[in-house]
Structure 1
Amino acid sequence: MKIAALLPHVEIFGGIRRYLEIGNELAKRGYYFVLFHPDGSKPGWLEFKGITKSFSSLGEEDFDIGLCSEYSILPYFEKLNATAKIFYFLLKGHKQEKETIKKNYFFLGNSEGLCRHLEKKYNISCSRAPGGVNPQFFFPAKERESERSEFIVLCYGRIYKQRKGIQHVIRAVEGLYKEYPRLKLVFFDSLVGEDRRDPRPMINTRVPYEFHLNLPQSKMAWLYSQGDIFVSAERRAGWSNTTAEAMACQIPVVCSRSGTRDFAFHNQTALVVPFPHPLFLRYQIKKLLKDEELRLRIARAGYEKMQKFSWSALADRLERILKELVKLN
């Protein structure tokens, strides 16, 4: 089977990781997997076992399956010669969502919540193809010393993306800081995009904090192990990569429902807020602050849940879906 996927770039984004990991799994199984993006270079931050080509090569060969998730490059996707084309939804509520649904594509969604949204709103069929976590990079690292003065709240740091909800996490922790002065925030991100926008100047809080920037993948388990808890307040997410990664590193999680419905179950594998608002987040953070046994139980259950979400398991599911599409066409 010949499979092609189109991406807008190969920088450090969750949606990009998904395609690199899927491509690696399918290439290992002997499939011909080509990743097209503007300049055709190999990604520098994660090994890729498939083939990369530039958009200028589109139309030079035929494929059985074409995959795309990015609205801005749909004109290029139209140029791809593929027997069956799949739009793989990664984000809820994009302004081009309705227009894309009308195209002669098959549809995948990267989470249960996103697929339900699409099926209910547009009366379409959307196959479930949730995310995964690579245990080579995300695993329970060496435990920190039990006797320490700080209680660290770990949070993704791309604050200029409002839907990530970073400000809500900051406000929630600030609301607890007077009562719990040992609280500390730890953020992380990588510089991406043409402007390499730095999120650090946008962090404004009286809570002590540090910011890790451009860490290599080999340091991610270490990073997550620094946190006593991880907090996410995303909106419109398909699959919340950082929340899944924290759970895979056995860190207790407070999160919104957005992008986590497949693996975050309230008071079982995580503490889940009904809406990403500082008041709701603060209440759940305080519960974990006060109760070490709860932290340990949530962390263990979250870790066990994430063992079911490997990229290999996703490749198994995709393999079945793609083979059926090839038969139909």
Structure 2
Amino acid sequence: MKLVIPVVSLETGGTRFIYQLANEMVDKGHSVEIVLPEKASVAWPLRAQVTRVKELTTDSIPPADFILPNFYPTVFPAWASKKGRVVRLSLGYEPLWVPEREKALASYHIDAPIISISEWHRQLILQGTGKNSTIIPGGVDSSVFCPSPKKSLSRGRYSLAYILRSKEHGYTWKGAEDFWEACQRLTQLVPPFDILVVAPEGANYPAPLPYEIVNAQSDSEMARFYAQADIFVSTSYFEAFSMPPLEAMACGTAVVTTDNGGNRDYTINGQNCLLVPPSDIQQLTLVLAHLLTQGTLRNQLALNGLHFAQSWTWRHAADKLEALLFQLART
């Protein structure tokens, strides 16, 4: 079948869903065309056809069996084009955070099936719009995201890994301030530790503690970032799925994450990670202190997470997408 996926950009973050699903669908023998503005960023190695247009309009959308718009501005030109059956791919419930809330909400009320990416995300859309959706979960490429030696083996001190998405770049729900406050409190409870930070937007955060910026522009570099740390920390208040903790598990690193909703499909507290309530800095501090000083628990969580992540593949996600589209094609 022919799929067209109009996107605003393919930068880091949630657009990994589009890149991974597009590549997997190509590998399954389908024709996939990504359509995006001529100056839009592409951070991922695509095997799908890439078509750049001056802007996303009804005229610039190519014909297809299915058109899969995602971020809300892509929905309206796709729907108005009438060039293929529209299936609304939601990578996050935009009315929660975008300024154009009413327009974002309207993008869910077109007469098209909706894809969500976790059970929590499905419930969120259902509560906000009254419309059900089909869950296509995320995955992880275990051939890339896999263990490698910890830096603590050579440095003699443990390290925390953190992905910095700051408020200054619009990421008001990522909890960066909570992370830094917890780290500051940790210094009073445990021996010295290192902080490894990836900052996708190039943020140079004025943190209260020294930290090491890790330049990770590719999946293999991100995998090393996760794998070399002893604990990966995620502090988001809400996420539609939240891929980094799953990627960190695949890299054999113990995970401490907030219960952000979208990660409930794959997190099991006390078995493959430790969960804390969003914005609970005190509990985050105590859990990190416990894990930094309890090597047996830290290693067990890392091992369990590594084994658990193996079944979360992008091919499985693509199989579910393919089955949905074939089902829709018959109706």
TM over 0.5: yes
Q: Decide whether the 8 Å contact of 1:130 with 1:314 is kept in 2.
A: yes
Distance 1:101 1:10, change over 3 A: closer
CA distance, structure 2, for counterparts of residue 180 and residue 246 of structure 1: 23
Q: Decide whether the 8 Å contact of 1:84 with 1:325 is kept in 2.
A: no
Distance 1:144 1:151, change over 3 A: closer
- Point out the more displaced range, 248-257 or 267-276: 267-276
- Point out the more displaced range, 88-97 or 53-62: 53-62
Q: Which amino acid aligns with 1:199?
A: A
- Point out the more displaced range, 50-59 or 134-143: 50-59
Q: Decide whether the 8 Å contact of 2:151 with 2:159 is kept in 1.
A: no
Q: Which residue of the partner structure matches residue 124 of structure 1?
A: 131
Q: Decide whether the 8 Å contact of 2:66 with 2:86 is kept in 1.
A: yes
1:78-125 deviations in Å (ceiling 9; x for gaps): 344443212222223242453222211211111121112222343321
Q: Select which of 203, 221, 231 maps to 1:199.
A: 203
CA distance, structure 2, for counterparts of residue 289 and residue 274 of structure 1: 19
CA distance, structure 2, for counterparts of residue 249 and residue 174 of structure 1: 26
Deviation at 1:237, TM superposition (A): 1.0
Q: Which residue of the partner structure matches residue 179 of structure 1?
A: 189
Q: Which amino acid aligns with 1:133?
A: V
Q: Which residue of the partner structure matches residue 151 of structure 1?
A: 158
Q: Select which of 114, 117, 137 maps to 2:144.
A: 137
Q: Which residue of the partner structure matches residue 200 of structure 2?
A: 190
Deviation at 1:145, TM superposition (A): 5.3
1:143-177 deviations in Å (ceiling 9; x for gaps): 44546432211100122322111211111111110
User: SS at the partner of 1:125?
Assistant: coil
Q: Select which of 280, 296, 299 maps to 1:296.
A: 299
In the TM superposition, 1:280-319 aligns within 5 A as 280-319=283-322
Q: Which amino acid aligns with 1:260?
A: N
CA distance, structure 1, for counterparts of residue 303 and residue 154 of structure 2: 21
CA distance, structure 1, for counterparts of residue 211 and residue 61 of structure 2: 51
User: SS at the partner of 2:84?
Assistant: strand
Q: Which residue of the partner structure matches residue 326 of structure 1?
A: 329
The alignment of Structure 1 onto Structure 2 pairs a total of residues equal to 318
Q: Which residue of the partner structure matches residue 3 of structure 2?
A: 3
Q: Decide whether the 8 Å contact of 2:61 with 2:77 is kept in 1.
A: no
User: SS at the partner of 2:143?
Assistant: coil
Structure 2 alignment gaps of length 5 or more: none
CA distance, structure 1, for counterparts of residue 44 and residue 63 of structure 2: 27
Q: Select which of 245, 249, 256 maps to 1:254.
A: 256
Distance 1:298 1:280, change over 3 A: same
Distance 1:60 1:171, change over 3 A: closer
Q: Sequence identity, in percent? A: 23
- Point out the more displaced range, 282-291 or 141-150: 141-150
Deviation at 1:10, TM superposition (A): 2.2
Structure 1 alignment gaps of length 5 or more: 192-197
Deviation at 1:40, TM superposition (A): 7.9
CA distance, structure 2, for counterparts of residue 140 and residue 230 of structure 1: 13
Q: Decide whether the 8 Å contact of 1:248 with 1:303 is kept in 2.
A: yes
1:65-88 deviations in Å (ceiling 9; x for gaps): 111221233333234444321222
CA distance, structure 2, for counterparts of residue 67 and residue 60 of structure 1: 11
Distance 1:276 1:130, change over 3 A: farther
Q: Which residue of the partner structure matches residue 195 of structure 1?
A: none
Distance 1:257 1:82, change over 3 A: farther
Deviation at 1:226, TM superposition (A): 2.1
- Point out the more displaced range, 65-74 or 258-267: 65-74
Deviation at 1:15, TM superposition (A): 2.1
* TM-score normalised according to structure 1 size: 0.89
User: SS at the partner of 1:289?
Assistant: helix
Q: Decide whether the 8 Å contact of 2:53 with 2:60 is kept in 1.
A: no
1:182-213 deviations in Å (ceiling 9; x for gaps): 1221110234xxxxxx311x2321x3311123
Which structure: greater strand fraction? 1
List structure 1 segments (4+ residues) > 6 angstroms apart after TM superposition. none
CA distance, structure 1, for counterparts of residue 254 and residue 303 of structure 2: 8
Q: Which amino acid aligns with 1:167?
A: E
Q: Select which of 176, 189, 211 maps to 1:166.
A: 176
Q: Which has the higher contact order (CA 8 A, sep 6+)?
A: 1
User: SS at the partner of 1:235?
Assistant: coil
Q: Which residue of the partner structure matches residue 65 of structure 1?
A: 66
Q: Decide whether the 8 Å contact of 2:9 with 2:41 is kept in 1.
A: no
Q: Decide whether the 8 Å contact of 1:149 with 1:182 is kept in 2.
A: no
Q: Decide whether the 8 Å contact of 1:163 with 1:236 is kept in 2.
A: yes
Distance 1:213 1:148, change over 3 A: closer
